Amino acid sequence: MTQRAPILVFDLDGTLADTAGDLIATLNVLLDREGLPIVAPSAARGLVGAGARALIERGFALNGVALTPERTDPLVRDFLAHYEAHIADESALFPGVRAALDRFAEAGFRLAVCTNKPERLARLLLEKLEAVDRFAAICGRGTFPMHKPDPRTLLLTIEAAGGDPGRALMVGDSRTDIDTAKAAGAPVVAVDFGYTDTPVADLSPDRVISHYDELWEAATSLLGVSSFVRT
């Protein structure tokens, strides 16, 4: 029986790509339209990372405005329409991402994305960043009936990419990613430069990295696959 390849599954926003600038800019379009003060990019870490609806609710809450679902729904639609048109104005892959993806791919790893961003927008962003072809599967909100932190989201992503669930590792930047991986029984590496209001080291990932240059050692060590990979 042919052994399936080890697999790395990445979150997208705050993990593979720095997207806060475009997300906050879109939020600010809505706030300005509603006559509310805009938020500074420095507020991104506490606002971004849980999806468009949460970003909008948090942004309005900073201005003392609690949104009802009836008011939030049209704001989400407007947010997504504007964001899609400006999805990569400022967004970029984090330093070292391309080289890391190349190294793992050349060594025989499968690569996938598991994000709570709508799948269509995740694919569009990765196309704009010229990275979409690096991944065997790109799964986002709407791909499956559930989303992170439900562990089935990660397991189904691994399956879609043709990876080995027994040799799978999650790379993320938030509690959601860490909880998802742990519930799925997979080790997790957290980047410390993403979008979270709690330091990722406090969330007990298996390893924390500060640059993608550190991912090779972390992943191969946690997966115990150094003897598998091609050199």
Question: What is the set of active-site residues?
Answer: 11
Question: Which residue, chain included where needed, has tokens 């990722």?
Answer: 200
Cα–Cα distance, 130 to 149 (Å, whole number): 28
String of DSSP letters for 58-85: HHHHHTT-PPPHHHHHHHHHHHHHHHHH
Cα–Cα distance, 7 to 156 (Å, whole number): 13
Q: Which residues, 6+ apart, have CB-to-CB distance to 99 below 8 Å?
A: 212, 213
**166: helix, strand or coil:** strand
Number of H-type helices and E-type strands within the chain? 9, 8
Sign of CA dihedral 146, 139, 6, 182: negative
